[in-house]
Amino acid sequence: NGFMKIYDISVPLSPAMHVYPGDPAVDIQQTMKIADGDVANVSFLRFGTHTGTHVDAPAHFIDGAMTVDLIPLNLLIGRVRVIEITSKSISREVLAESDLTDDMRVIFKTRNSYAWREPEFVKDFVHLTADAAEHLVENGIKVVGIDYLSVEKYNFVNPDVHRTLLGSGAVIIEGLNLSEVDPGDYELICLPLKIEGGDGAPARVVLRG
């Protein structure tokens, strides 16, 4: 049919979904119901800017930095490399096995993609180390994606990974689900909600390939 396959790598928003500890809970309620005699179905949404599949703007960890509504869309749309990582964390040493010279955008597929199925938030998710963040910046990477709710180790002392990446002007995409996606090159389309002055925003993220 000539159509490229589209992979939806976003997680659905629901009150039952995993939320990073300390973030606002997800609340979705119908405020108008056709079944109750209303003219339309209308819902009320309440959740944090870093809920589910979302983009971290530099302003998330750096006061006064770029907000989510100002991120250039040509960063968030274009060729991306999906790299499968089997180790428990992503370090410079692990990244040295991948050639990043042609890449501006990378997404890491890890065992985290299966953590979404667990009943509770999984604390020992695969994360980046500070030297991995430095390695990505040194290689000119401008978009870094990962398949759980943070690139940073749970219960971090200092948010070095976020500060290194966001401080370089890179954008982070968190909360992806890559369980149906093979490693390789794709086209990334990532469109965060255009929240004025936002530190981040939920996004619908798809791969085409």
Q: What is the DSSP code string of 134-145?
A: HHHHHTT--EEE
Pair 153, 89: CB distance under 8 Å: yes
pLDDT of residue 2: 67
Residues with a catalytic annotation lie at: 60
Q: Report DSSP state, residue 55.
A: E
CA 31 from centroid of its chain's CA atoms: 30
Among residues 146, 147, 153, the alpha carbon closest in space to that of 172 is found at: 146
CB contact at 8 A, 156 and 177:
no
pLDDT at 130: 98
> In the chain, where does DSSP find H-type helix?
73-76, 92-95, 130-138, 160-167
pLDDT of residue 4: 85
Query: In the prediction, which pLDDT does 164 show?
Result: 98
**Model's pTM, two decimal places?**
0.97
Contact present, 120 and 147 (Cβ < 8 Å) = no
Q: Which residues of the chain have pLDDT under 50?
A: none
pLDDT score recorded for residue 1: 62
